[in-house]
Chain A
């Protein structure tokens, strides 16, 4: 039974990692061949950084991700605070509509926004590009921000806010000095979720980007041309970066846990 369990684990992990290891291997392959190993090279990494299209797409991705994450976090946090004060029916209506982009397949969110922007285009001459890309990213990020902030507001003791008012804060001070710090963990989770979803999104951007290219769209263009080993180099770099980020985050957690354990040991 134990052996079977180990075999199962090994099979699943192999399944998950084979494509990634193959890509990492091929990124160092000298020839363009996807199956024959002809020698070690860094050529594709150099070429990747010379590829203006990719660099530009990377910058676009980061700009869109950061702006949309900031805007959706601000808008979503304020919305969540307001939603908390609504009556039951208003709350239900707003939350249900807000979750539509989460429930719906991405392609439907994508084409529905495309239809809307087309209407704006004929009414106000709106052009597809950075603006439409930003609006669509903010739109699909908002539910995730609300989703992570709302529970924190529910958990919060509203009497603390009232106490701040009693002690002479005006509502704005009370909001920024009491409510915001209290719900900060939810805001940070929401922001990070928005950032990752925005960086990773392909489908919604694909329908609404016009001439602006994000990294996933650039990757799609490269994939369609079939043979371009720069993709492997790009994947490898992404994998290593993600690995490092997760490692650092986890290291922090582990340290925290260790400290906790030591403390418990002392008690």
Chain B
């Protein structure tokens, strides 16, 4: 008896609950209520193109902000002494262990019309500003929730970069910009690409952050899909079509970022 057959129970589970469900999504996306083939679900999606665009744009902006904030943090972190590094890493990851609904709820409180931030501005006679239920609030929520997803992969590639490489570049006359552009950035590329996918994918498909912080202004793909399955306009066929497009979008994003990483390793070695 070949030893590989001991994984049979798992293979059955995998086919039943990972493979078959995804096939069902594809099946539902291309059929109507009576089970006959149709592409109407897909073609109907064009009327939701603004929602799709908004999701992509908001997620992209959040990803860029995450990258900008996380890059220096990860660099500083990777250059600390091992014992302090551990403590700082802990401090950064600790908020992640709270349930994300609770964290987002806390931001709702801060951003409200008579929330703490507006109260604070009120002390100086400013405001109140419209902070919550804007696209900005949604982006803030995404950055807050997914920032550690960017810091972690960046940090783990940067910690492997030999500090003498940076010193060598400096000795050979590179200024800060050159060190960053020609040494640090290429060497940390794998971390950047992983970080981008790890932030972009959940941001693009979220339906809680947009609902809680965006109200009606920032309706996203996730909200649309949720409505088709649990909401008032129950239509799993349309919902599956949306999910299928979202899946393709995610795969596209990943292949683009992975492509960047591959090219870069080719150049640098």
CB within 8 Å for A94 and B14 given contacts A17-B95, A82-B3, A104-B247: yes
B106 at the interface (CB under 8 A from A): yes
CA distance A216 to B22 in the complex (A): 25
B98 near A242 (CB under 8 angstroms)?
yes
A23 at the interface (CB under 8 A from B): yes
A243 near B94 (CB under 8 angstroms)?
yes
Convert A34-78 into 0s and 1s, putting 1 for each residue whose CB lies closer than 8 angstroms to a CB of B.
110000000000000000000000000000000000000001101
A106 near B202 (CB under 8 angstroms)?
yes
Pick 11 A–B contacts, CB within 8 A, sort by A. Answer: A17-B95, A20-B95, A107-B222, A108-B243, A116-B21, A139-B17, A200-B100, A202-B100, A202-B208, A238-B102, A239-B98
B90 near A246 (CB under 8 angstroms)?
yes
B72 neighbours in A (Cβ, 8 Å): 8
Convert A173-193 into 0s and 1s, putting 1 for each residue whose CB lies closer than 8 angstroms to a CB of B.
000000000000000000000
B76 near A5 (CB under 8 angstroms)?
yes
A112 near B250 (CB under 8 angstroms)?
no
A81 at the interface (CB under 8 A from B): yes
CA distance A19 to B99 in the complex (A): 13
**CB-based A-B contact count at 8 angstroms:** 202
- Kindly report which residue of chain A lies nearest to residue B93, judged by CB atoms: A246
- Kindly report which residue of chain A lies nearest to residue B117, judged by CB atoms: A18
Nearest 6 CB-CB pairings of A with B: A82-B7, A79-B10, A19-B106, A105-B205, A112-B21, A85-B4
A119 neighbours in B (Cβ, 8 Å): 24
How big is chain B's contact interface, by range? Answer: 35 or more
How big is chain A's contact interface, by range? Answer: 35 or more
Convert A1-44 into 0s and 1s, putting 1 for each residue whose CB lies closer than 8 angstroms to a CB of B.
00001001100110111111011001000000011000000000
Q: Given A19-B107, A98-B18, A115-B28, output 5 extra A-B contacts at Cβ < 8 Å.
A: A8-B76, A23-B109, A80-B7, A101-B18, A107-B225
- Kindly report which residue of chain A lies nearest to residue B205, judged by CB atoms: A105
CA distance A207 to B21 in the complex (A): 14
CA distance A227 to B206 in the complex (A): 23
A105 near B202 (CB under 8 angstroms)?
yes
Q: How distant is B62 from chain A, measured CB to nearest CB, in Å?
A: 14
B25 at the interface (CB under 8 A from A): yes
Q: Specify which of A85, A101, A138 is in contact with B2 (CB 8 Å cutoff).
A: A85
A157 at the interface (CB under 8 A from B): no
Looking at chain B's contact residues, is the secondary structure mostly helix, strand, loop, or mixed? Answer: helix
Q: Which of B201-254 contact A (CB under 8 A)?
A: 201-202, 204-205, 207-208, 212, 222, 225-226, 229-230, 236, 239-240, 243, 246-247, 250, 254
B18 neighbours in A (Cβ, 8 Å): 97-98, 100-101, 139
Q: Specify which of A83, A105, A238 is in contact with B99 (CB 8 Å cutoff).
A: A238
B202 near A75 (CB under 8 angstroms)?
no
- Kindly report which residue of chain A lies nearest to residue B20, judged by CB atoms: A116
CA distance A116 to B17 in the complex (A): 8
A104 near B250 (CB under 8 angstroms)?
yes
Q: Which of B2-32 contact A (CB under 8 A)?
A: 2-11, 13-14, 16-22, 24-25, 28
Q: Specify which of B5, B24, B114, B208 is in contact with A115 (CB 8 Å cutoff).
A: B24
A235 near B208 (CB under 8 angstroms)?
no
CA distance A215 to B98 in the complex (A): 12
A234 at the interface (CB under 8 A from B): yes
Q: Specify which of B2, B10, B101 is in contact with A78 (CB 8 Å cutoff).
A: B10
Interface residues of B, Cβ cutoff 8 Å to A: 2-11, 13-14, 16-22, 24-25, 28, 69, 72-73, 76, 83, 86-87, 90-92, 94-95, 97-103, 105-110, 112, 114-116, 119, 144, 147, 201-202, 204-205, 207-208, 212, 222, 225-226, 229-230, 236, 239-240, 243, 246-247, 250, 254
Interface residues of A, Cβ cutoff 8 Å to B: 5, 8-9, 12-13, 15-20, 22-23, 26, 34-35, 75-76, 78-83, 85-86, 90, 94, 97-98, 100-101, 103-109, 111-116, 118-119, 135-136, 138-139, 142, 200, 202-203, 206-207, 215-216, 219-220, 223, 231, 234-235, 238-239, 242-243, 246, 250, 253-254, 257
CB within 8 Å for A250 and B17 given contacts A15-B144, A16-B147: no
B69 near A22 (CB under 8 angstroms)?
no
A207 near B230 (CB under 8 angstroms)?
yes
B207 near A20 (CB under 8 angstroms)?
no
- Kindly report which residue of chain A lies nearest to residue B118, judged by CB atoms: A35
B204 neighbours in A (Cβ, 8 Å): 105
CA distance A22 to B106 in the complex (A): 7
